[in-house]
Structure 1
Amino acid sequence: MNGIVIIGAGESGTRAAFALRESGFTGSVTLTGTEPHLPYERPPLSKPLNGAVQMKPICGAEALQAAGIDYLQGVSALSLDPDTRSVAFSDGRTLTYDKLLLATGARPRRLTCPGAERALDFRTYADAATIFSSADPGKSIAIIGGGLIGMELAAVLRGKGITVSVIEMAAKPLGRAVPPRFAAKLHARHQDEGVAFHLGQGIAAITDDAVLLADGSAVPADIVVAAIGVLPDVALAEAADLATGNGVLTDSFLRTSDPNIFAAGDCAAVAQPGGGYIRFESWRNARSQAETAARNMVGGKEAFGAIPWFWTDQYDLGLQVAGLPQPEHQSVIRQLDGGELEFYLDDGRLLAAAGLGSCNSVARDIKLAEMLIAAGINPDPAALADPGVNLKALLKSSRAA
C-alpha cells in the first residue's frame, strides 16, 4: 500500500494530515510543502508583534512525528501522473500514492504595468518579513488593491505611523467580499486614521519613488505592495489533465475528475447543489474542507456543506460574515452596543449575516446567526431587528419547531 500524499503544507494540507490519523487511518501519510518552514498560519502575518512578523506554527515537529506524518519541507511537486499514481518532486524523489490531496492554495495575482517587479507581494512569511522590516516610521507605502488584505495591511501600517496610500481600480474599496454597509464604515474609519485613497484608478507604471496613475498623477511611495487578489494554484492539476476552472474542480465530496485525487482549500472549486462551482478563501474553510476530504479519502461519503465564513480585524474593529450575502437579499439591521448586525433573507429564509463592532463584540451573535442559517429557518424580520429578542432563544424555538 502506497498510502496518502498531500501536496501543500498550509492550513488545509496540514489539517488534512492530522485528520487522517484522527479518522483511524494507519497507512503512510506524506505531507509536502514548498516553504522552508514548519507549517504556519497566514492570518497572523498581517499582525506583527512588537514590530516583528509572527510565525504561528500550525503544529510542531514533535506533533508531526507523534502522528506518524512524514513532512517534506522545501520541496515542490514538479509533475503529477494520475495513471501511475505518482508525483515527481524537485529534490529528485518520486512518490506513489493510493490517494492524493491537492492543497496547493493560491498565488498572488501579478501586476502587468511597467515597473511591476518593484511591487512586493504579501502572501508568505518571507513576504511579510520583507515588508515590515522595511516599513519604518517616516516612510510612505502605496498599497495597490483595496480588498481585505490591502486594507488590513493599511490599518497595521498606519498604527506604526507610516504614511499609507491605497490605490484601487474600483470606485469603492472592499467591494467584492464585504457587504456595502460595512465596507463604507471601514472605508470611513481608514480615512479618519489618515489613509489616502485613490479610487477608480488604473496603474500606468511603478518607479523607484512613486506609483504613476492612469490619469497622469503620481502617488509618492518608498515601498509599493501589490494586494490585488490571488489566483488558485492549478498548474499541477492542469498539467495532469484534471478538470479546472476557477480552481481545481471537485464534486461535493471534494473528489476531482480523478477519483483517487481530492482537492481542498484555496485551490478547490466545489460543485454547488444549484449548479456551478464556488471557491472559498478563508482559514476556517480551508480547515473544514481538509477534514471532509480526509474522511472521504479513507472511505467516507460526506458532502462538504459548511457555511462560508470569514473575518477581518482593522484597527479596533472586527468584521465577521457568515453565508453569502447578495444584493437582492432582504436586509434587516440590528443595533448592538458597540456594533451592529445585518441579516440577509431570501423569500423569508435566513441565508447570511454580517456584523461589525469593536473588538469581538459581534462574534457571539454571528456564531448564533450561523447556527440559525444552518437550521434553515424563516425568522420574523421584526424579531431579527429587535436587540431585545435573544438570538439564542430564536434558535431554541426553531429547533423545537
Structure 2
Amino acid sequence: MANFVIIGAGECGARAAFALREKGFSGDITLIGTEPLAPYERPPLSKGGSSEPPEPKFIALLEHYREQSIDLRLDTTVTAIDPAIKTIRLADGEALSYDKLLLATGASARGFPGVDGVSQRIRVLRTHANAVALHAALYPGQHIAVIGGGFIGLELAATARTRGADVTVIEGQPRVLKRGVPEAIAEAITQRHRQEGADIRCGQVIEAIQEDAGKAMVRLSNGETISADLLLVGIGALPNVALAAGAGLAIDNGIAVNERLETSVADIYAAGDCCSFPLALYGGRRVRLESWRNAQEQANLAAANMQGEGAEISAVPWFWSDQYDLTLQIAGLADEAVTHVRRDLDDGAFILFHLGVDGRLLAASGIGRGNAIARDIRLAEMLIAARAHPDHTALSASSVKLKSLLAA
C-alpha cells in the first residue's frame, strides 16, 4: 500500500490530505505539523476588532482526520529528508518512509535587520499564539507602532484602531502597499486609516530599534524617536526552505517546482507559500504567492498529481484584504501593465483594469465597502484566464456588464 507524507499542517497541507481521500487515494497519509493546534485558517489572525481573544478557525475537527484515516502528528518537527532512501527523520529520532512526499512548509515572518527574534514589546504575527499575545495588548491607552505598510501591517493597524489603541504605521516606501497594489487604491486605504485616527508615515528610514523602560523605541533617520507600548514587525515573510535545501532540492525564491508542482527531486512535491512556480498565463515567469486561495488551489493540484494526473497550474492569482469597512481584491498580476482603465461603481467603489502592451487584460484591482466589487472582480478574473482583449470604453462604463464582455 502506498504511503504519502505531507510536511506542513497549515491550510495547504491539511487541504491536500483531505483532497487525496476525496480523489480516491486509499493508502496511508501522514500529516506533520510543528504547532500543537490542529490545522487552522491564518487570514482571520490579522482581522477583526472583537474584544474577545481570537479563537482558531479550524480547517476540520480532529475526529474528521481520524474518520479519513489521516495520521495527524502535531507539535512534531522534521529534521531531515533523505531522498535517496525516501525517508524523513523526526526530532525524536523516528524515521518515516514515503512513496510520495509533499512539502507544504509555508513561510515565516521576516524579522527586522539587527533585531533578534521577538520579545514582550517587539512582536510578529504568523501563528495563533502570536495573535493571542497581540490581542492582549490592543486596548485604549496603548500605543501600537507597526513597521510595514503591507497587508499584514495595515490589517493589524485597523484591528488595533477598532479596539481603541493608538496606532503609528512606519513604512519605508513612498506609499503603503507598494508591491502589487495600484497607487489609487493605496491612497484610498491610506485615507481610510487616517479617517480612523491612524498615523501613517511613509518614506521613513529606521536607524535602530530597541527596548527601554518598558517601551519599544524606534529611532528614525530624521532624528525622531517613536515610543510604543508594542511594536509589530510586519515586513513580509520568508519561505521555509531549510528542509528542502538540506535534501538537495532546487531553491529559487522558495522551493522551485514545475507547472505540476514537482520539485527537482523525483516523488517530492511542494505547494503553497513555500514554493515558486512558472505561470503560463504570464509567459512562464516564476512567481511565489502568499495567499489563502493559492494554498487551497495548490493543495488540490498536488493531491491530483501525487496520484499521477499530470494537471498543470492554470489559476489566476487572487488576493484580498479587509480593513475597517473596506474590502480590497486583486485578480492577476499588474506589474507589466501599460494601460489602466478605471470603472467607478456605487458608493465610492471602483475597479482598475490593467492591460498589457497588446491590449490583453492582465489584472484587475478593486476597492469598496462590503461585497461591492466582488462580482466584477470575479468576472474580471475569468476574462484574465480567457486572455481577453476587452474594449477600453466598455471596461470603463459601469453600464456595460462584464459578463457581456466575457460572452464576446
- Matched residue type, 2:404: A
Root-mean-square deviation (CA), in Å?
Answer: 1.4
Determine the structure 1 residue equivalent to 2:82.
81
Contact 1:174 1:183 (8 Å CA) reproduced:
yes
Determine the structure 2 residue equivalent to 1:178.
181
- Matched residue type, 1:139: Q
Counterparts of 2:19 and 2:337 in 1: how far apart (Å)? 38
Determine the structure 1 residue equivalent to 2:365.
354
Indicate yes or no: 2:152 matched with 1:142: no
Indicate yes or no: 2:209 matched with 1:205: yes
- Matched residue type, 1:38: A
1:115: Cα distance to partner?
7.2
Contact 1:168 1:200 (8 Å CA) reproduced:
yes
Q: Deviations over 1:2-50 (max 9, x none)?
A: 5100000111000100111111110001111000011000011123433
Q: Structure 1 pair 276/382, CA: closer, same or farther in 2 (3 Å)? A: closer
- Matched residue type, 1:227: G
Q: Structure 1 pair 324/212, CA: closer, same or farther in 2 (3 Å)? A: same
- Matched residue type, 1:371: M
Counterparts of 1:393 and 1:326 in 2: how far apart (Å)? 26
Contact 1:146 1:173 (8 Å CA) reproduced:
yes
- Matched residue type, 2:372: S
Contact 1:79 1:236 (8 Å CA) reproduced:
yes
Counterparts of 2:296 and 2:113 in 1: how far apart (Å)? 33
1:183-262 aligned at under 5 Å gives the runs 183-203=186-206, 204-208=208-212, 209=215, 210-262=217-269
- Matched residue type, 1:358: R
Q: Deviations over 1:283-339 (max 9, x none)?
A: 000110110011000111101111000000011000000000126431111110121
Determine the structure 1 residue equivalent to 2:105.
104
1:163-174 aligned at under 5 Å gives the runs 163-174=166-177
1:152: Cα distance to partner?
0.4
Determine the structure 1 residue equivalent to 2:331.
322
Counterparts of 1:365 and 1:245 in 2: how far apart (Å)? 34
TM-score (norm 1): 0.96
1:135: Cα distance to partner?
1.8
Bigger drift between 326-335 and 226-235 goes to 326-335
1:116: Cα distance to partner?
6.4
1:37-116 aligned at under 5 Å gives the runs 37-48=37-48, 49-113=50-114
Structure 1's unaligned 5+ residue stretches are none
Q: Deviations over 1:46-67 (max 9, x none)?
A: 2343332131001111211111
Counterparts of 2:367 and 2:101 in 1: how far apart (Å)? 40
What is the count of residue pairs matched by the alignment? 397
Counterparts of 2:182 and 2:96 in 1: how far apart (Å)? 45
Indicate yes or no: 2:378 matched with 1:367: yes
Q: Structure 1 pair 55/342, CA: closer, same or farther in 2 (3 Å)? A: same
SS in structure 2 at match of 1:207? strand
Counterparts of 2:245 and 2:379 in 1: how far apart (Å)? 40
SS in structure 1 at match of 2:169? strand
TM-score (norm 2): 0.94
Structure 2's unaligned 5+ residue stretches are none
1:351: Cα distance to partner?
1.6
Using the aligned pairs only, state the percent identity: 48
